[in-house]
Structure 1
Amino acid sequence: MTTSEPSPRQARQALRWVIRCSAGPLPDRQQRALQRWLQADPRHALAWRRQQAFWDGLDAAGPEVLAALPALTSDRQGLRPIAPRRRLSWWWASVAAVVLAVPALPGVALWARSDLRSGDAPRVVQLEDGSTIVLDARTALAVAFDGDQRQLRLLRGQAWFRVAHEARPFRVEAGGGLVRDIGTAFSVSLQDAVVTAQVSEGVVDVHPGDGSLQRLHAGQARAFRDGRWLQPVSSLASDAVAPWRRGEVAIDDLSAAQAIERLARYRAAPVWVLGTKAEQIRVSGLFHLRQPDPAISAVAAQAGLRVQRLPGGALVVW
């Protein structure tokens, strides 16, 4: 007689047992409960064997990776969870069960507040005043135009603006600060609560929120966080502003975890980085956003990390 496939619920139960066992020997009472569960249905034992084979690969990476597994439910990188398909394999059912265990409510609320959004690729938008915005992947903007002003709020990600000249001021709020156009093309990014303004043409005024002001000219950039400047004004080539508009991602001395997070925004399925090793190793490079998977693999190779692809396209890096 052929054993039928485990249900998503049974796969989820098996996943929980495997994770418990991976943390060390079970107490006698839990060990007896596990044996009763395994014997209650042939599908339980099948689900257990399959889950065990999968997690053995992660177990080789060490206890700190297993300790990081709860982060798989947190939407930590701002990426959407994968939606389960109608016919789930046992493997995909269990992964989907973990991913969907905690709804990404903050992300839903953020997208609900935004007027302009992008998916896993940059998007060009023409505003009603004739201004052009290029949104990087995973970017959200709120827009409020009236008869007196043109106000935008960067909620997440980064955007490049070419502003149409008219009497109403053009302002971009981000991270509690403000970037005001003086007649220019510029970019604003919001990454890990750090706001960076870069100017490719003209002039902007940057207010970090503490009452101070920095005027930036073409080829200049400055960053702030929580109302405080992080560094002096820096210089860059005008064509280095928002390189993602040309399909490039420049990584300059970031941790491997940060680099992978930036590259992951250009793929539909999520990427999870487990353990602390990726936080400790610095990487640099210029990558093509149209090929995010080879770029992620290249960063992982630089940092001595492993990459495992899950059903549905998700990646686990450790």
Structure 2
Amino acid sequence: MISSQDSQPPRPPERVEQEAIAWFTRMNGEPSAGDHENFNRWRNADPAHERAYRDVSATWASTDAPGERVAAEEADTLSGYLDAIGRNRHRRRKLNGQIATFTTLLALVLGFTIWLEHPDVLQNLAADHVTERGQRGTVMLADGTVVMLDAGSALTEQMDGDARRVRLLRGAAYFDVVPTGRPFIVEAGQGETRVTGTAFSVELRDDDTVVTLARGSVGVSSHTDHRKAMLEPKQSVSYGSAGLGPIRQVSLDDALAWRDGRLIFENARLEDIVSQIGRYRSGRIIILGSGLAGHRVSGNLPLDDPDAALASLQATVGFRMNGIGGRLTIIGP
């Protein structure tokens, strides 16, 4: 339970923001008369408390729609948390009111913390290979294939049977496939890529998956419209809910620049660029408004310095950017 702070020396702003978030969660639930009394005491104890609470209230008031979109996009990941909260609710009925209130607060704060800091925890548990945010990594699969994973990526592998299967769950991966005579299949998003021995990248971008060929040849299939594309080196194709897109000629240095810690893009959606930058920093980034999210931009950014990349985007596009506690970043018009 949060207690009042009547006569204590000033505390770090991060601590005040954490308390403001906790109080915001409590007061938007089912607060008791005692909660109201303690909240007012905390709020009036220091002007910094009032400012922090107003900032949290204003921020969440402006992010209702993005929050619903994030929840929909991550429904599979969040389902585990929701099940756990549901079980807590069932047990709560057998407890007294004070314990029930505490359990509700704890579940809400825990859910917020997981959403903010560890949104991929269940996905990581299901994966065979994972890279943390800000850390690229190289792994060798059971058949000898070498895979370079971008930061914040995850994949599973299954090498038994007549085919070698890999599923990219999140992020991006560059595959240097060892030829064995058995097909090597990468499932990602709403399609798959099939090869025997070649080098190519697969990247998940919101609704779309992008495949880029560096060496050899690959066949890319869309589960949505059941079309198939055969790529040659220096070609790329994307697929998603709209089906398979056109084959494009690309610069491999630009398309695969993430392997060297840079992001080079031309006429790309702001939302896609921000999502890739987000794999290199802690916390979450939310863009307000579909118009801003779909804004097209070109550039060359340092992925290993994500804050500098965001600052460069801000200078180019001219959006507003506000942060809460160094963990939640809101981008708006």
- Kindly indicate whether the alpha-carbon contact (under 8 Å) linking 2:143 and 2:159 is maintained by their aligned counterparts in 1: no
Question: What is aligned with 1:117?
Answer: 130
Query: Quick one: which of 223, 232, 247 aligns to 1:233?
Result: 247
1:12 Cα deviation from its structure 2 partner: 4.5
Query: Quick one: which of 99, 107, 112 aligns to 1:101?
Result: 112
Structure 2's unaligned 5+ residue stretches are 78-104
Paired residues for 1:276-291 under 5 Å: 278-279=292-293, 281-291=295-305
After superposition, the Cα gap between the structure-2 partners of 1:97 and 1:64, relative to the gap in structure 1 and judged at 3 Å, is closer
- What are the Cα deviations for residues 29-79 of structure 1, in whole angstroms up to 9, with x where unaligned? x9xx99x935876324237x4354236568889x9735457569849689x
How far apart, CA to CA, are the structure 2 residues paired with 1:10 and 1:57?
12
- What are the Cα deviations for residues 100-144 of structure 1, in whole angstroms up to 9, with x where unaligned? 338559844322221111111211112232211011112111100
Paired residues for 1:116-265 under 5 Å: 116-120=129-133, 121-146=135-160, 148-209=162-223, 210-226=225-241, 228-230=243-245, 232-265=246-279
1:200 Cα deviation from its structure 2 partner: 0.6
- What are the Cα deviations for residues 232-272 of structure 1, in whole angstroms up to 9, with x where unaligned? 21101233342200111123323433322221111123223
After superposition, the Cα gap between the structure-2 partners of 1:292 and 1:12, relative to the gap in structure 1 and judged at 3 Å, is closer
- Letter of the aligned partner of 1:206 in structure 2? V
- Kindly indicate whether the alpha-carbon contact (under 8 Å) linking 2:321 and 2:330 is maintained by their aligned counterparts in 1: yes
Partner secondary structure for residue 137 of structure 1:
coil
TM-score, length basis structure 2: 0.71
Partner secondary structure for residue 267 of structure 1:
coil
TM-score, length basis structure 1: 0.74
How far apart, CA to CA, are the structure 1 residues paired with 2:222 and 2:23?
50
Question: What is aligned with 1:25?
Answer: none
> 1:3 aligned to 2:12?
no
- What are the Cα deviations for residues 274-305 of structure 1, in whole angstroms up to 9, with x where unaligned? 35563253322110111100111121222222
1:317 Cα deviation from its structure 2 partner: 2.6
How far apart, CA to CA, are the structure 2 residues paired with 1:310 and 1:207?
42
After superposition, the Cα gap between the structure-2 partners of 1:9 and 1:264, relative to the gap in structure 1 and judged at 3 Å, is closer
How far apart, CA to CA, are the structure 1 residues paired with 2:38 and 2:177?
68
1:313 Cα deviation from its structure 2 partner: 4.5
Structure 1's unaligned 5+ residue stretches are 21-29, 81-93
Structure having greater relative contact order (Cα 8 Å, sep ≥ 6): 1
How far apart, CA to CA, are the structure 1 residues paired with 2:220 and 2:18?
53
Aligned residues: 290
How far apart, CA to CA, are the structure 2 residues paired with 1:77 and 1:284?
28
- Kindly indicate whether the alpha-carbon contact (under 8 Å) linking 1:73 and 1:99 is maintained by their aligned counterparts in 2: no
Deviates more, 1:210-219 or 1:244-253: 210-219
How far apart, CA to CA, are the structure 1 residues paired with 2:251 and 2:209?
19
- Kindly indicate whether the alpha-carbon contact (under 8 Å) linking 1:58 and 1:66 is maintained by their aligned counterparts in 2: no
- Kindly indicate whether the alpha-carbon contact (under 8 Å) linking 1:8 and 1:97 is maintained by their aligned counterparts in 2: no
After superposition, the Cα gap between the structure-2 partners of 1:12 and 1:186, relative to the gap in structure 1 and judged at 3 Å, is closer
- Kindly indicate whether the alpha-carbon contact (under 8 Å) linking 1:3 and 1:42 is maintained by their aligned counterparts in 2: no
- Letter of the aligned partner of 1:15 in structure 2? F
1:9 Cα deviation from its structure 2 partner: 9.6
How far apart, CA to CA, are the structure 1 residues paired with 2:25 and 2:304?
37
Which structure has greater helix proportion? 2
How far apart, CA to CA, are the structure 1 residues paired with 2:23 and 2:119?
29
Identity of aligned residues (%): 26
- Kindly indicate whether the alpha-carbon contact (under 8 Å) linking 2:148 and 2:175 is maintained by their aligned counterparts in 1: yes
How far apart, CA to CA, are the structure 2 residues paired with 1:162 and 1:50?
54
How far apart, CA to CA, are the structure 2 residues paired with 1:252 and 1:100?
37
- Kindly indicate whether the alpha-carbon contact (under 8 Å) linking 1:256 and 1:283 is maintained by their aligned counterparts in 2: yes
